[in-house]
Structure 1
Amino acid sequence: MKDSNEIKIAQKLIRCKSIAPKADSALNVVEKECKIAGFKCTKLRFSEKGYDSISNLYAEIGNGKPHFSFAGHVDVVPANKKDWTVDPFKGLIKNGYLWGRGAVDMKSAVACFLAASKTYLEENDNFKGKISLLITGDEEQYAKNGTVKVLKWLKKKKIKINNCLVGEPTNLNVLGDQIKIGRRGGYNGIVTVFGKEGHSAWPNRTKNPVSALIKMLTNIDKKTLDKGTKHFQPSIISITSIDVKNEALNVIPAKAQGSFNIRFNPKHNIKSLTNWIKREFNKIGFKYKLDLYVSGNAFLTKPGKFSQLIKDSVRKVTKKTPKYATDGGTSDARFINAEGINVVEFGLVGKSMHTNSERVSLKDLKNLTKIYKLILEEYFK
């Protein structure tokens, strides 16, 4: 098992210290493997004022329809070697696991894309249609110069993807327990409340922004937004910070700041939530500023032929029947869905991602490659 292609590729990728936004070394590994398999590769570098310039890779093989695409990222979150029991960028194999940053999220899945595609193409050199890989170096940070701009480039080039599989770690406990067919929306808010500073002994001479902030946040924190839908959990609100930066115990400050996060289902959108929040805040009667950082609206790929194909392939290899899920954070699938592309997510078990013990079972790596290859076989029948 140690000599299998996906493991070797995953090790090469993990050894690239591709901490966002510097993922070029890992993209070079992917490009080299794609070219070995016969893909035509295009490196795409995008820029936007205020953000780092980012490299991406689009690789394709074949012609015409249908067009199936694997999508993912090779940038990773930071890893402090002092916090690990192994070197997070060595790609060590130990006790049946491949260890390192990106082993789960999601360099190993990219390795499985490559291994499965190469084997499929060796066995099916005359397949009808197109296979592509859309690999970005900008997923873990701002996602401004990554997948979203590659998709715009594809649209400009009139390259249409029919179905896309994103290899994010979708499973909770074992390989085969979940397929993602959608994601909740992500909404982060920072509210700054303005009052009138003064001595706490004479509160009538002041206007206390701390009390106002607590009331404002309480107004939204206690609200039940909905009861969920068939495929989505109820939307949730979490108060994440209250920050006054007041070192004087006897002074009422001039301003106070709080933050909150909302994970919401398709019953809401950015506009409706913003309008509701402002109505609740306005009830308190204080001047405030609201800054919003939105990762995207909720989306759903309705279960159908493509998601069933993924489900059947997973079941055939793992002997488990995966459920359709929409939990967790956001992913680049939101950008793909927004372009009208049928997108489903399936990857590894996510329990150890972003931790100082990130690792993937070698057995899972081998089985994920089998699943991806079977998906290609069934898709291009």
Structure 2
Amino acid sequence: MEVLELLSELVSFETVNDPARGIKPSKDCPRFIMDRLSEWGIESRLLERDGYYAVYGEIGEGKPRLLFMAHFDVVPVNPAEWETDPFRLTVEGNRAYGRGSADDKGNVASIMLALRELSRERLNGKVLFAFTGDEEIGGRMAMHIAEKLSKEGKLPEYMINADGIGMVPIIRRRKGFGVMLRIPSERVRVKGRLREKTFRISTPVVETRHAAYFLPGVDTHPMIAASHFLRSRNALAVSLEGSFLKGNVVPGEVRLKYIEPGEGGDVEVDLGLTRLLKAIVPLVRAPIKTERYSDYGVSITPNLYTLEGGEHVLRIDVRAMSRSKEDIERAMREVVEFNLPGAELTVMTNEKAGYLFTQPGERIVRVMLEVLEGEGERAEPIEGPGAADSRFFTPYGVRAIDFGPRGGNIHGPNEYVEVDSLEKMPRIYKGVALRLLGG
């Protein structure tokens, strides 16, 4: 199967994005994409900003009608949690395992093959395409492309952001915010017995580590569990370790060393860490105001903890149908002032990004559903949990959907794409493009 062969080549590039460890994708993968497209007679160019790359190109003539976008960067891996080599596509039955197989190299491969077929058609307008290398850390390349197209008067009518999953058109997605808390370490000696407890993630329905997919009431977050544990007893934290990967990746486990004061030896505890961990429960329930309805409401997950120069640093991922950094900060600060007086609070977001909110009656949605039905896929438009690069284009009035094949374990171990759905993807993308450009 051609799309599977192309995906196998893409997965072999270790395009991990991990700024905390100074790791970013090299030029190798985007150059491979450009070279393969060139072999098919499709010209493209390499864009670069701050050491991150994107491939951009156009096919057809006339007015820009449709933009395809997907990303080739991936989140970090913990190889110990994988049953296969994460950078070698492994097919077992109907599943193809590998980092990026579902998020998002399966889509990259599918769009590339769709572009090859579209380049042989007589198109009524231009089809634009972009493959970016920094979606997993905020998508500034997508923002740059949106700004560039706007200045040049080349914004398309429609966008298919191929960064979805499930073979369903995603018409709503929340905006992401990053919250960082800093509090000084405060070490004192207390009598008691040193103990240790491990808290592990549990996702019994949808196996994933992606913070946006975490569903309170169903899933168990190790950091929230550790916070509830400390709050439920007279315990003081000594240290915290865990499998921390990224701000929007839920850690697989955390290991808390603590004491319950009483008889025993002198143990050095950290009052600063204790207060920080105990504050997590109220922090994840901060009363954040939103602008629009969301199936998922507001998600607040504490995913990354570090000890930096005598300060405890906690990074929290926030997802909300809101563009207001001020609303997020106001709600979080109220909780911090009550539970962590003196802590430093910083809220980060891309002010130029919005959220995806496309009405189900839009032509691009109807066309996608028609094409899917022709492929034997019955679907209804849905809201997706995570944010995506379409949020940089919707503020300009571009009508967008996110889409992708069926798969699972996004951002987690043993990520996979379902082979039978992947096989249909190039035909689906080609079919939607031809129908949208037909009138």
Question: Same fold, TM exceeding 0.5?
Answer: yes
Mapping 1:37-186, distance limit 5 Å: 37-47=40-50, 53-79=51-77, 83-122=81-120, 124=121, 126-144=122-140, 146-171=141-166, 176=167, 178-186=168-176
Q: Is 2:34 aligned against 1:31?
A: yes
1:17 corresponds to which residue? 14
Q: Secondary structure at the match of 2:5?
A: helix
Displacement of 1:344:
0.7
Q: Distance in 2 between matches of 1:33 and 1:279?
A: 53
The farther-off stretch of 109-118 and 94-103 is 94-103
Against the structure 1 CA distance between its residues 302 and 213, is the aligned structure 2 distance closer, same or farther, given a 3 Å change threshold? same
Q: Distance in 1 between matches of 2:431 and 2:49?
A: 34
Deviation at 1:75, TM superposition (A): 1.6
Query: Aligned with 2:75: secondary structure?
Result: coil
TM-score (norm 2): 0.69
Determine if the alignment matches structure 1 residue 356 to structure 2 residue 346.
Answer: no
**Cα 1:271–1:367, aligned 2, differ >3 Å: closer, same or farther?**
same
Aligned residues: 349
1:263 aligns to 2:326 (yes or no) = no
Please state if 1:237 is matched with 2:300: yes
- The question of whether the paired residues in 1 share the 8 Å contact of 2:354 and 2:392 is answered with no
| Aligned partner of residue 425 in structure 2, secondary structure | helix
* Deviation of 1:57 (Å): 0.8
Q: Distance in 2 between matches of 1:275 and 1:337?
A: 26
- Alpha-carbon deviation of 1:58? 0.5
Measured after TM superposition, the shift of residue 118 of structure 1 is 1.8
Change (3 A) 1:25 1:319: same
CA change 1:152–1:212 in 2 (3 A) is: same
Q: Partners of 2:293 and 2:182 in 1: how far apart?
A: 36
Q: Distance in 2 between matches of 1:170 and 1:265?
A: 20
Q: What TM-score do the two structures reach when normalised by structure 1?
A: 0.78
- Matched-pair contact (CA < 8 Å) for 1:168–1:348: no
Q: Contact 1:18–1:24 (CA<8 Å) still a contact in 2?
A: no
- Pair 1:44–1:85, CA change in 2 (3 A): same
Contact 1:6 1:111 in 2 (8 A): yes
1:187, 1:130 → 2: CA distance?
34
Q: State the partner residue of 1:50.
A: none
Distance 1:218 1:316, change over 3 A: same
1:312 aligned onto 2:370: yes
Whether contact under 8 Å (2:164, 2:403) holds in the other structure is yes
Distance 2:93 2:126 in 1: 38
Deviations 1:157-177 (A, max 9, x none): 432222111111322xxxx3x
| Offset, 1:237 | 3.2
TM-aligned CA deviation for residue 215 of structure 1: 7.9
Contact 2:289 2:327 in 1 (8 A): no
- Runs of 5+ unmatched residues, structure 1: 48-52, 202-207, 246-253
SS at match of 2:68: strand
Code of the aligned partner of 2:16: I
Q: How does 1:219-230 map to 2 (within 5 A)?
A: 220-225=283-288
Paired letter, 1:316: G
Mapped to 1, the partners of 2:304 and 2:25 lie a distance apart of 30
Instruction: Give the letter for the 1:326 counterpart.
Output: G
Structure 2: any 5+ residue segments left out of the alignment? 18-23, 192-270
Q: CA RMSD in A?
A: 3.4
Offset of residue 14 of structure 1 = 1.8
